[in-house]
Amino acid sequence: MKELELKYGCNPNQKPSRIYMQDGSDLPIEVLNGKPGYINLLDAFNAWQLVSELRKATGIPAASSFKHVSPAGAALGLSLDELERRIYQVDDLGDLSPQASAYARARGADRMSSFGDFVALSDTCDEDTARLLKREVSDGIIAPDYSPEALAILKEKKKGGYAVIRIDRDYQPAAEETKTVFGVTFSQGRNDLPIDEKLLENIVTKNRVLPEEAKRDLLIALITLKYTQSNSVCYAVGGQAIGIGAGQQSRIHCTRLAGDKADRWYLRQAPQVLDLPFKDTVRRPDRDNAIDLYLGEDADDVLGEGRWQELFTVRPDPFTPAEKRAWLDRNIGVSLGSDAFFPFGDNIERAARSGVSYVAEPGGSVRDDHVIAAADRHEMVMCFTGLRLFHH
């Protein structure tokens, strides 16, 4: 296929719209079902690069959940324990394959942001992953292949309109990238520097003990940032991203946004949340919205007089700020990556509140000494990678 005509571009008034190869060669994708749109394909190509790089760096199947050209979640296919199966809402699906486990983690990190996502898988989409996807609100998927059983399940999703894309796993893009903005063509070399453990060798803090699991999680954070709209910060633990702050103009706002998402991920594991007495009739997206409100400053919206009766069999007790802080203090060993240097130590102070023990950032700020001192106060391990990862 030389080109693919699209319904419209970013918005319905932006017509005509298509994708094609400038050199006239065939596209590296095949649409097996549905009609992916302009933004769907932007998500798909960025997401595929992310999971491909995670797979190469770790040797483990990977998945990502993308929305508006930034990941809502990214994860490796590590087995899920009983608690994780509950918080990711897959405890009724039996044992999941590594690829399905990767998507359960990626989707479950930030279920609010993953609503209506575009999915990328590093490996063949199997029946387990398709069954999981069938019941989630999602726009489409890109993967190198699909089992016959998985493809049959996905073709039934969205009344037959679910976008299913197969990509050539051996496709390599040109070394030069171009795009046009306001009639002006921009050109740059592709960002193809490998992200591996060599980037973590320059440890600048007093604490130099960097466990293998922390190295893995730092690589997950850095690879995720490579395909996240800048400025961006990513928290990771246990083989997955748990909080991603994308597209902020201020570095501290990235750190706060990602930290707040990481906190919500951990708070979802608290008994107060796991045992919320939802009525059986409450749908999964409505539960996600209610949990988000319950954990935030708008808890009265779901616990107030009358409102709780729509969702719960009995009125839950509030989750007090003191109780939340006590629970969050149990979250330790989190890794943090930043796509550019931290200009102030306030980023480290905020990260410490979300259990961060390990940090990877490029370094190069005139205040590096202040940032290092802040990390030392919290006994963190911090690596200067020397590699900026802006993505626009």
Question: Lowest-pLDDT range, 11-15, 55-59, 236-240, 297-301?
Answer: 297-301
pLDDT value at position 305?
A: 78
Does any domain span residue 323?
no
Q: Are residues 218 and 338 in the same domain?
A: yes
How many residues comprise the chain? Answer: 392
353 found inside a domain: yes
- Active-site annotation holder among 2, 159, 198, 392: 392
- Domain co-membership, 244 together with 138: no
Q: What CATH number should be reported for the domain holding residue 46?
A: 3.40.140.20
- Tell whether 238 and 127 lie within a shared domain: no
20 & 90 share domain? yes
- Which amino acid does the sequence have at 6? L
pLDDT at residue 375, rounded to an integer: 98
Residues 296, 338 within the same domain: no
**R_g of the chain computed on alpha carbons:** 21
- For range 52-76, the mean pLDDT: 97
Is residue 172 included in any domain, yes or no? no
Quick check: is 181 in a domain? no
Residue 299 has pLDDT above 90, yes or no: no
Sheet holding 334-338, edge to edge: 29-33, 163-167, 138-143, 117-121, 62-67, 70-76, 240-246, 232-237, 334-338, 356-361, 381-384
Q: Are residues 287 and 370 in the same domain?
A: no
Examine the domain organization and report whether 136 and 263 are in the same domain.
no
Asked if residue 307 has pLDDT above 90, the reply is: no
In a shared domain, residues 154 and 278: no
In a domain, 126, yes or no: yes
Task: Identify whether 231 is a catalytic site residue.
Answer: yes
pLDDT over threshold 90, residue 20: yes
* Half-sphere exposure for 335 (CA within 13 Å, toward CB): 27
Same domain, 107 and 73: yes
Among the ranges given (301-305, 320-324, 332-336), the one the predictor scored with the smallest mean pLDDT = 301-305
pLDDT value of residue 306: 79
Whether 313 and 332 share a structural domain? no
Instruction: Please answer whether residues 205 and 212 qualify as being in contact, where contact means their C-beta atoms are separated by less than 8 angstroms.
Output: no
Catalytic residue among 68, 134, 158, 370: 68
Query: pLDDT tens digits, residue range 363-386?
Result: 999 999 999 999 999 999 999 999
Domain stops at, among 167, 200, 217: 167
Q: How confident is the model at residue 215 (pLDDT cuts 50, 70, 90)?
A: very high
Pick from 134, 167, 200: which residue ends a domain?
A: 167
Of the candidates 33, 46, 67, 347, the residue annotated as catalytic is 67
Mean pLDDT of 181-204: 94
Residue 27 above 90 pLDDT? yes
Q: Is 392 labeled as catalytic in the residue annotation?
A: yes
Specify if 186 maps to a domain: no
Range of the domain at 302: 271-318
Q: Residue 226: inside a domain, yes or no?
A: yes
Within a domain: residue 185? no
Residues 205 and 276 in one domain: no
Q: Is the pLDDT confidence value at 321 over 90? A: yes
pLDDT in tens, 268-278: 999 999 999 99
Greater pLDDT, 42 or 296: 42
- Domains: count for the chain: 3
Q: State the pLDDT confidence band at 301, using cuts at 50, 70 and 90.
A: confident
Strand partners, 181: 184
From 151, 167, 183, give the residue that closes a domain. Answer: 167
| pLDDT, the chain, mean | 95
Average pLDDT over residues 206-212: 97
Q: Does 54 share its domain with 199?
A: no
Among residues 33, 40, 46, 231, the one annotated as catalytic is 231
The more confidently predicted of residues 302 and 348 is 348
76: Cβ contacts below 8 Å, ≥ 6 apart: 54, 58, 60, 61, 62, 102, 105, 216, 220, 239, 240
pLDDT number for residue 381: 98
